[in-house]
Amino acid sequence: MIHEVYELLGHSDKDDPLAWVALEPSSHDLRTPQIWTVTGVYVHPRYRSRGYGLGRALMRLVLHDADEADAELWVVPTPEPGRAEDLGRFYADLGFRDRGAYWIRPARSSAVLEGA
């Protein structure tokens, strides 16, 4: 079940979004922090790796909303062949930590506690 889709609309071949990010909520338990799972990040092939920063801009919106909700973000990256290193840098630059099979960006309150 998809919880939220962030889209960047513009001109493409079929009026499809130029980029989107999809999120899925975790089961909410008041004893555990809220976790949002990024289930997909897409940028139209014509606009990938061209310096436009479409995926990064959408992910920053997601990060802002996650901070507002004090939610932890999880990503299970699915890189295209030969792009795993680029994808790793993308998530690391956005503050995610590599945990092997997935990347995590702690909730704002957790990050503050870790820095104390």
The β-bridge partners of 98 are 103
- Cα–Cα distance for residue pair 98/55, rounded to 1 Å: 19
Side-chain-side CA neighbours of residue 58 (13 Å):
21
If one compares 36 and 2, the residue with the highest pLDDT of the two is 36
- Cα–Cα distance for residue pair 56/77, rounded to 1 Å: 15
Task: Name the DSSP letter for residue 77.
Answer: -
Residue 116: is its pLDDT beyond 50?
A: no
CATH of domain 4-115: 3.40.630.30
User: Is residue 103 a contact partner of residue 66, using CB atoms and an 8 Å limit?
Assistant: no
Span 56-84, pLDDT tens digits:
888 898 898 888 888 888 888 877 777 77
Residue 100: in which H helix or E strand, if any?
none
**Annotated domain spans of the chain:** 4-115
pLDDT of residue 10: 64
> 44 to each of 36, 55, 98, 106, how far by Cα in Å?
24, 10, 25, 28
